[in-house]
Amino acid sequence: MKTVLITGACGGIGKTTALYFANKGWSVIATMLCLEEKKEFEPYDNIHCFALDVTSTASIETCKNDILLQFPKIDTIINNAGVGYRSFVELACDNEIERIVEINWLGVVKVCRAFIPVFREQKFGQFINITSIAGLVNLPLGSFYHSTKHAVESFSECMAYELLDFNISVTTVQFGNTPSNFQKNVVKSTTTSITAYANLMRKIDEVLAQKTKKNVDLKQSIVEELLQIAENPSKNFKRHTIGFDANFLHIARKRLGYQMFARMIRRSVFK
């Protein structure tokens, strides 16, 4: 039985992925900030829950040691934990900027750093780092979220070179908005009296809500693709873009160039 470790498994894509892998016969290590959120996993004998704060080196080390006492090997680690922050640069708060960087980027860095020695010792392993279409293109009000996802993309590609000789693969996965609790939990900048800012926030909220409602089948496509990646690790670094929205934006950005792509985005947002 293969074993997967998933961070941020208490909700959203993380929870759906944990359940899907478990139903496909994998042994699942589901990590979460608070173990009180594990109730949906309790009926499963092959889902094992551990408390983990990806922002804390001490928490990661404790969790790793506890896991290794129970599991002789880990085949795949899916770095899924993440948060959103939708804000104008001018109105951004230090604590929210620090929070999103610590979870979305440094959390991935710290988990990978902690488990690379485990993978080296067992002579195999796979990191699947979930980013977002935000890691490939840049869109309005994404200054902070997109920055962290771009950082994970760069980090993952660089790290892949280091790990080639150890049979450790690195993959990133990008997708667009999918119905989950992620968008509901996105932190936004405070209400502002600056008319242009207020109008832009309202428009972006509307666009994202419409896209999320349309992507009803995306979550299933994501977990199916994640399983395929986990069961067929690639020696070389790979990016996997899932869903029409993500693929369209990625291809459009590459083919149109910045100016034409920016014009397309402005028309869709400011029309």
Find the Cα–Cα–Cα–Cα dihedral 164, 165, 167, 169, rounded to 10°.
-10
Q: Running DSSP on this structure, what letter comes out for residue 106?
A: I
Find the Cα–Cα–Cα–Cα dihedral 133, 118, 115, 37, rounded to 10°.
90
Bridge partner list, 129: 79, 172
The verdict on whether 145 is a catalytic residue reads yes
Copy the structure tokens of residue 157: 């590609």
Of 20, 44, 85, 145, the active-site residue reads 145
- Within the chain, residue ranges assigned H as helices are 12-23, 57-70, 94-100, 107-122, 143-163, 195-214, 218-231, 244-270
Residues 184 and 72: their CA atoms lie apart, in Å, by 38
Residues 156 and 129: their CA atoms lie apart, in Å, by 7
Residues 85 and 141: their CA atoms lie apart, in Å, by 9
Active site residues: 145
